[in-house]
Amino acid sequence: MKKLFALLFGTTPQPAPVVVVDNRPLYKELYTQSLNNVRHLRASINTYNSVVNYIKGDSPAETRTKRQNVQYRIDWFKKKLTEELGMVEYYAKVMQ
């Protein structure tokens, strides 16, 4: 294979240089962004939890639907919060 390469291109293939990259500044930015996301998610969960029982509609069915939608949103926020907390732990471990 080397002979064929040398015939075609006139030289033998050289290995690519190894470049070491320090990603700690990138991880620090991702870590702070994850912390901000956690703060925002917790604030949203607290806000929705405090207002879920006071949501009213024009009819009982509409009230029930609105409350269910808010409950679905709270559940979604809680799921995303667990994901972001995992990311915070991961970035904290990588930066050490």
Query: Is there a domain that residue 12 lies in?
Result: no
Q: What is the Cα Rg of the chain in Å? A: 26
Q: Which two tokens stand for residue 22?
A: 């320090």
Which residue type is seen at 25?
Answer: P
* Tally of domains within the chain: 1
- Answering whether pTM is above 0.85, one says no
Spatial CA neighbour of 71 closest among 58, 52, 85 = 52
Query: Is there a domain that residue 14 lies in?
Result: no
Query: Is there a domain that residue 10 lies in?
Result: no
User: Is residue 41 a contact partner of residue 81, using CB atoms and an 8 Å limit?
Assistant: yes
Query: Is there a domain that residue 13 lies in?
Result: no
Query: Is there a domain that residue 3 lies in?
Result: no
Backbone angles phi, psi at 16, to 5 degrees: -70, 140
Q: For every one of its 96 residues, what pLDDT tens digit does the chain have, with 9 covering 90 and above?
A: 666 666 666 665 667 676 656 767 888 899 999 999 999 999 999 999 999 989 999 999 999 999 999 999 999 999 999 999 999 999 999 888
Q: Residue 64 belongs to what domain range?
A: 22-95
